[in-house]
Chains A and B, each alone.
Chain A
Amino acid sequence: MKNRLMCHLIANYPDFNKSFEIAEALARGGADSIEVQFPFSDPSADGPYILKACDIALKNGFTVDKGFDLVRRIVNITKLDVFIMSYANIPYTRGLESFVKESASIGIRGLIIPDLTLNNDEGLIELGEKYTIPIIPVITLTTPQERIDAILSIQPEYVYAVLRKGITGESTEITNENITFLKNLSQEGVKVLGGFGINSREQVNSLAPYLFTSVAGTVFVKEIEKETGDMINRIEVLTASLVTDQSTTTSKGGDFSSSINICR
């Protein structure tokens, strides 16, 4: 049985056609779903690699229309589950309702807008209900229990669990704290997407028992940046290496009494 993996890609990075080819390579490599980020110039939770990639995507003429075109192609051709991720001002400027409606019409599986949160969502959650598209709340290790309870009380189909404190792209430590956090969440009958900093097969293996899907992002941006060989092929190989047979794991659900930093 292979691990379930959601791969993150940035729309229009390095350019429109390449970002579509990357999506195809992710699909061939065995990804289950794709998170397409619509770039924003002043994000509040992205690390330097994703920030730089977003800048390039914007310089190369990203527009929300192009983003939707790309997502439409990915949905139609790869048949994978696709999620759209962006920051508040992108859908807000488009018009939240128009953004949600168009996303729903394309048939994506959900929207992740990390800085539109319960009680500060500008009506996003209600629009999600109106157009039957999951709005995916983000929960972190520092989210207070009462806040988690409030989020779960609106019965989201998915939650996005941030596995470390901080911005994307740095190392994720698979600590006891992370595991307990995920165990508690998965007991709530919600599909948990978990990520931020995942970059090795071992990490995916360790987390798989507690997640609906692992999410990997920065690792792909770093791979795209490399200038050697056939990039599209490298992406496919990398994806396949992350989506490996779970039986190879040695520490599945076992003893996490010590903090294991298994980053490269």
Chain B
Amino acid sequence: MSTMVKTPNKEGYFGEYGGSFLPPDLQPVMDEITKTYNEIRNSPGFQEELTALYQDYVGRPSPIFYAKNLSKKMGGAQIYLKREDLNHTGAHKINHCLGEVLLAKKMGKKKVIAETGAGQHGVALATAAALLGLECDIYMGEVDIAKEHPNVIRMKILGAKVVPVKSGLKTLKEAVDEAFGAYVQDPVTQFYAIGSVVGPHPFPMMVRDFQTIVGIEAKEQFSKSPGGLPDNLVACVGGGSNALGLFTAFMDDESVKMYGAEPSGKSFKKGEHAATMTLGKPGIIHGFKCYLLQDDEGNPDPVYSVASGLDYPGVGPEHSYLKDIERVEYTTVNDKEAIDAFFELSREEGIIPALESAHAVAYALKLAAELPKDKTILMNLSGRGDKDIDFIAEKYGEEYGIL
């Protein structure tokens, strides 16, 4: 299984998923990115530079925290949190943004552009661009701009331009469409720093590679505990970058079970969820093939989740493959469960999670309750929830006794 799982073929396919379905204008640019990335990915200079930034700038390694109170409350398996929320900028996204911006800089690009949903990728990219001296344009749906106000301000403080996207549902998918359009206009001086393990080859591979540090550290940290390996891994899945970050290092450890939590939003009705792998079927969007929520004619469905970073109709091609070979079990968590878990983690452990990560928390809690006490669950706490507090207060304040 090992080489199949870890490396796409040279055209960027994970099984039948991935690839590069681009208008011919963009393909030469993508080929150049692949070529440069393959040249520098294992070069000592690049790795040293990135490792130094991970350590001194991001604050890596992020700790693993034993959630004793929650574990006790659930009465089953022991829950451990990989604290990506403690990274500089408050989420795992900075791991791949530093890699992408370093690469863009080495390629002589002047500007990095990207879409963002919750604003976490946007903030991380704006941060990396500020540090490394590149311009930065972030495309963001107007609905998300209103919801994720603190992150919008953060990006602007960091010197990035935030471009509001007014088309369609004004969320993540439309932001990708518009960023794509802007990229096609000038793929030579700009670098499209895709915000997850999605898009055309080499991005699903490259973003994953930059995120694997999460699992590599976790494996090392966990090796000191009895048993040496966690029994279960849990992460939320929108595009799927934090999940692959945690999972990849454990891929060959067959005793380690892996779970990806997708958002089932308000219901399983069309337009009220983003449970891509649960209800989608293979399709081609934004330059790659993956499970896709779509209608019978092949047009992507509208999607929704309370977590802006998870409402995407597609998903990473490697996840699509991991589902088919049954290496990872994909499950769903709805809005209500995620919000409950958001408060549960805040009040039991004093950690406010991002709404995206709260989906992973919810599933970890569910799983813990079903398992015996000698089992362990390691979940990726991919981001912190400061960005979500205004939204939570407004929408759920009364229900949870804040207002």
Q: Restricting to A231-255, which residues have a CB under 8 Å from any CB of B? A: none
Contact A143 B297 (CB under 8 A): no
Given known A44-B184, A167-B181, A167-B185, contact A116–B297 (CB-CB < 8 A): no
Contact A115 B298 (CB under 8 A): no
Give the docked Cα–Cα distance between A14 and B371 (Å): 58
Partner of B180, one of A44, A48, A58, A87: A44
Contact B181 A93 (CB under 8 A): no
Give the docked Cα–Cα distance between A150 and B140 (Å): 39
Closest to A196 in B: B25
A171 close to chain B: CB less than 8 A: no
Closest to A139 in B: B24
A209 close to chain B: CB less than 8 A: no
B-chain residues with CB within 8 Å of residue A94 when the two chains form the complex: 297-298
Contact B20 A140 (CB under 8 A): no
A219 close to chain B: CB less than 8 A: no
Given known A40-B299, A120-B11, contact A140–B21 (CB-CB < 8 A): no
Given known A89-B298, A93-B298, A167-B184, contact A42–B173 (CB-CB < 8 A): yes
Give the docked Cα–Cα distance between A87 and B286 (Å): 11
A220 close to chain B: CB less than 8 A: no
Contact B300 A44 (CB under 8 A): no
Query: How big is chain A's contact interface, by range?
Result: 35 or more
Give the docked Cα–Cα distance between A90 and B22 (Å): 15
A83 close to chain B: CB less than 8 A: no
Closest to A52 in B: B167
Contact A114 B299 (CB under 8 A): no
B-chain residues with CB within 8 Å of residue A137 when the two chains form the complex: 24
B177 close to chain A: CB less than 8 A: yes
B-chain residues with CB within 8 Å of residue A45 when the two chains form the complex: 23, 25, 184
A107 to chain B, nearest CB (A): 23
B-chain residues with CB within 8 Å of residue A138 when the two chains form the complex: 23-24
Residue from B19, B25, B185 with most neighbouring chain A CB atoms (10 Å): B25
B-chain residues with CB within 8 Å of residue A120 when the two chains form the complex: 11, 19-21
B192 to chain A, nearest CB (A): 12
B146 to chain A, nearest CB (A): 22
Contact A93 B11 (CB under 8 A): no
B197 close to chain A: CB less than 8 A: no
Give the docked Cα–Cα distance between A62 and B23 (Å): 23
Contact A42 B298 (CB under 8 A): no
Give the docked Cα–Cα distance between A45 and B284 (Å): 14
Contact A89 B283 (CB under 8 A): yes
Contact A44 B283 (CB under 8 A): no
A41 close to chain B: CB less than 8 A: yes
Contact A114 B298 (CB under 8 A): no
B320 close to chain A: CB less than 8 A: no
B71 to chain A, nearest CB (A): 43
B167 to chain A, nearest CB (A): 8
Closest to A113 in B: B21
Contact A166 B184 (CB under 8 A): yes
Give the docked Cα–Cα distance between A156 and B113 (Å): 36
B-chain residues with CB within 8 Å of residue A92 when the two chains form the complex: 283-284, 298
B331 to chain A, nearest CB (A): 26
Contact digits for B271-302, partner A, Cβ 8 Å, 1 yes 0 no? 00000000000011111000010101111100
Contact B11 A115 (CB under 8 A): no
A78 to chain B, nearest CB (A): 25
Given known A42-B177, A90-B298, contact A116–B23 (CB-CB < 8 A): no
Partner of B25, one of A55, A91, A162: A162
Given known A41-B299, A64-B297, A143-B28, contact A119–B11 (CB-CB < 8 A): yes
Give the docked Cα–Cα distance between A227 and B168 (Å): 24
Contact A143 B24 (CB under 8 A): yes
A147 close to chain B: CB less than 8 A: yes
Among all A-B residue pairs, the 5 with the closest Cβ atoms: A93-B298, A45-B23, A115-B21, A88-B284, A89-B298
B residues in contact (CB < 8 Å) with A: 11, 19-29, 167-168, 173, 176-177, 180-181, 184-187, 283-287, 292, 294, 296-300
Q: Can you list 16 A-B contacts (CB < 8 A)?
A: A41-B168, A42-B176, A44-B180, A45-B25, A47-B181, A51-B167, A89-B292, A89-B298, A116-B21, A117-B27, A120-B19, A140-B24, A140-B25, A143-B28, A165-B25, A165-B187
